[in-house]
Structure 1
Amino acid sequence: MMMMQVETEGEATCTAVLTPPLSLEGGLAAELRPANLVQRVLSLFRNVRPGSDLSHFQLPATFNLPKSQLQLYGETVYCAGEDLLSRCARGKDGLDRLTSVVAWSISTTRPPIFGFAPYNPVLGETHHVSAGPFNVLLEQVSHRPPVSALHATDNNGNVELVWCQHPVPKFYGTSIEATVKGKRQVKLLKFNETYEVDCPNLLIRLLPAPSVEWSGNVRVVCKDTGLEAELSYCRSRSFLGIGGDPRCVKGRILDSGSGDVVCEINGHWDRTVSLKDVKTGKVSVLYDATRAVANLSTPVVENRKGVSPSESAVVWGEVNDAILKKDWEKARQAKRRVEDTARKLAKERNERGELWMPKHFALSQDKNGSWECWPLESSVPPAPIVVPS
């Protein structure tokens, strides 16, 4: 855990509390997990109707990870054991670059933890972190529905990320499935290539055996090269339908025009994923999870005066501190203060007839409910919070 007092102009001193990122080991959740977790989770949904949208379901602090959803999104970009994004920009040809983007997209699939969820970000909350050459900025651009925008650029001008995500969790009686809507764009500027990347769904099974896993289909498409990848996050086959490994990923890379399969993809997203060249039969390692997302460093505050009062680690700092100390009454009260303040500000805006506008993004919504975001600046500046090298 990292704590830092942050002095903001005209405001009282507040505390930024940064916690370790999720990695293959799970870390924080194992420390916070109570003995009767499964029974407590089931009791939460006793009075929830099947088919209900859980986007605004309020979890008690005892079920929260000490971090915001904005931070979890950001960690998939700036917390990594190897620089997969720079590798994308170094690809020698279109196929090499596509496979690198696929490897990066798999690296954003971090092990979910049953019974714990991050905080729902408040409107206008931001998260700004630098790691090596990459500067990453996120903003909560809508609260109802919850929409998060991300912009990341590197100091060399080679890679730019822009995405706008909108999770829609629904309760189905014995399970919860969160569909993540919105496209993630990886732009390789030197090659004038844009890759559109989907996100898998998060499936939480309550009965008969509690579990949480990533599922569904993901596409990585580059119209500029005419290549695309199709991935399926699935459970491996098991004897008589019992057991099976939920962390399998299978897929293929194909030519969009002809439909010809160029490569086959097979493996486990929390271990290794292999790539087989269909023409030559050569098999290589596409992705190694141990190198990518194990033993990750916790971000630290490098410039305390530069930390915004809207920064996630500040907004939720008191709640984080209480959860880490397992002071659940203090955590409950601190969380309520954050949420009550957000509701009060929204009410005051409505009474004045003011329309809230994001600070860092422009956004729009089409008639089908899909959201798009555009960063207002061409690049992201270095952040006051950094990931130690």
Structure 2
Amino acid sequence: MIIQRKEETKVVLTKPFSLEGDSDVDYKAPNILQRILSLFKNVRPGSDLTRLQLPPLFNFPKSQLQCYGESVYCTASDLLSKCNNGENPLERLTSVVAWSISTTRPGTFGVVPYNPILGETHHVSRRNLNVLLEQVSHHPPVSALHATDEKENIEAMWCQQPAPKFYGTSVEVQVHGKRQLKLLNHGETYEMNSPQLLIRILPVPGVDWVGNVTIRCPETKLVAELHYRSNSFLGFRGNQRLIKGKIYDSLSSKILYEVDGHWDRTVTVKDTKNGEVRVIYDAKEVISGLKTPTVKDAMGVWPSESALVWSELSEGILSKDWEKAREAKKVVEEKQRDLLRERESRGETWAPKHFIVSHSKEGGWDCSPIQKCVPPAPIVVPI
């Protein structure tokens, strides 16, 4: 945990989720399963949980915006450079597959991040990579991400809409929206989606990523299809976290590589032409020993910064002062209601500061950054 002051306010930054699952908080609270079951006792199966109000006991000290951002800027190795430095389109797509897998991070059963408030931002830099996120809608919750590395000439854009639903013995969170990674030196854009998060309550509690991810490059016509597989329903067979898939040429439908492995261990590709197998992703190398970001320029931190907006609540959770945490959460939420009433009374419509938002033809959301490049951030990741 790192707490740094900006005049009379505090910026609270906590450890990113790493492979070891270490944290600034001990979440192994007694009777956590009973508490979760009591939380859902009046919720019907199939219900949308986006408006469910959770007490701080069920939060970890971090906003959902920070979680999205950490999956991009918190890495122990520079996978984005590898994407850019691939000698040919196939090697670059293979590196993009590895980078996409690296954004899949371990979860903790029984706790979830804060729901970002409207207009909340998160702005962090790691070396030449500058990352900016903004909450562009509250109901439904939609988060936009823009990341640029001017040295490598790389740009990433996400538009994420999590949709959690309760199914009696589990909660399934579909993450709608698209992700783009642009390798501008090569004139290539890689479009991909996110796996869905499965929170199993019974019979064996656990958190895992499941579902299908497709990564395609319209310019090269190469496609990767990945399938994230969870444990069995009863929790047997140990920790699976399997990934199976293929990389193929969409013009000829010829399979070039077979993908196999575990997203929390290693992932390999097998060349279908000569049978050669090699490791393309090692989770231990990429998401182990991750460092907590620090504040480099306290005066440059925006009032909308996640680590500032939720600082009092995070302090309450970290110290397990639940009364302080409840009051802090109430203050943030009531302020948002007051701002909404003020806008409605003036007939004003809120607009994002950093993104242009529109509805896509498919019925989802499109978020386009206003600025071409993300500026360096006042919060940095130590190298």
Q: 2:148 aligns with which of 146, 153, 159?
A: 153
The alignment partner of 2:352 has SS state of: coil
Letter in 2 for 1:330: K
Deviation at 1:155, TM superposition (A): 2.9
Indicate the RMSD between aligned Cα atoms, in angstroms. 1.5
2:209 counterpart of 1:204: no
Letter in 2 for 1:233: Y
Q: In structure 1, what is the Cα distance between the partners aligned to 2:174 and 2:141?
A: 13
Cα separation, partners in 2 of 1:99 and 1:142, compared to 1, 3 Å: same
Deviation at 1:245, TM superposition (A): 3.4
2:266 counterpart of 1:272: yes
Deviation at 1:32, TM superposition (A): 3.0
1:10 matched residue in structure 2: none
- Aligned residues of 1:235 and 1:244 also touching (Cα < 8 A): no
Letter in 2 for 1:16: V
Letter in 2 for 1:50: P
| Structure 2 unmatched ranges of 5 or more | none
2:323 matched residue in structure 1: 329
Cα separation, partners in 2 of 1:137 and 1:245, compared to 1, 3 Å: same
Cα separation, partners in 2 of 1:351 and 1:120, compared to 1, 3 Å: same
**Runs of 4+, deviation exceeding 2 Å:** 235-238, 240-246, 366-369
Q: In structure 2, what is the Cα distance between the partners aligned to 1:247 and 1:303?
A: 39
Q: In structure 2, what is the Cα distance between the partners aligned to 1:340 and 1:243?
A: 46
Q: 1:127 aligns with which of 122, 125, 132?
A: 122
Letter in 2 for 1:382: P
Deviations 1:86-110 (A, max 9, x none): 1111110000000000000000000
Q: How many residues align?
A: 383
2:20 matched residue in structure 1: 25
1:355 matched residue in structure 2: 349
- Aligned residues of 1:133 and 1:154 also touching (Cα < 8 A): yes
More displaced, 366-375 or 79-88?
Answer: 366-375
| Structure 1 unmatched ranges of 5 or more | 8-12
Q: In structure 2, what is the Cα distance between the partners aligned to 1:367 and 1:227?
A: 24
Deviation at 1:348, TM superposition (A): 1.0
Superposition TM-score, scaled by structure 2 size? 0.97
Superposition TM-score, scaled by structure 1 size? 0.96
- Aligned residues of 2:133 and 2:146 also touching (Cα < 8 A): yes
- Aligned residues of 1:29 and 1:113 also touching (Cα < 8 A): no
Deviation at 1:207, TM superposition (A): 1.3
Deviation at 1:66, TM superposition (A): 0.2
Deviation at 1:243, TM superposition (A): 3.2
The alignment partner of 2:21 has SS state of: coil
Q: How does 1:94-243 map to 2 (within 5 A)?
A: 94-235=89-230, 242-243=236-237
Deviations 1:210-267 (A, max 9, x none): 11110000001001111010000003679x9943534111100011111111000100
Deviation at 1:326, TM superposition (A): 0.6
Q: 2:284 aligns with which of 274, 287, 290?
A: 290
Deviation at 1:29, TM superposition (A): 7.0
Cα separation, partners in 2 of 1:184 and 1:223, compared to 1, 3 Å: same
1:3 matched residue in structure 2: 3
The percent identity for this pair of structures is 58
Deviation at 1:157, TM superposition (A): 4.9
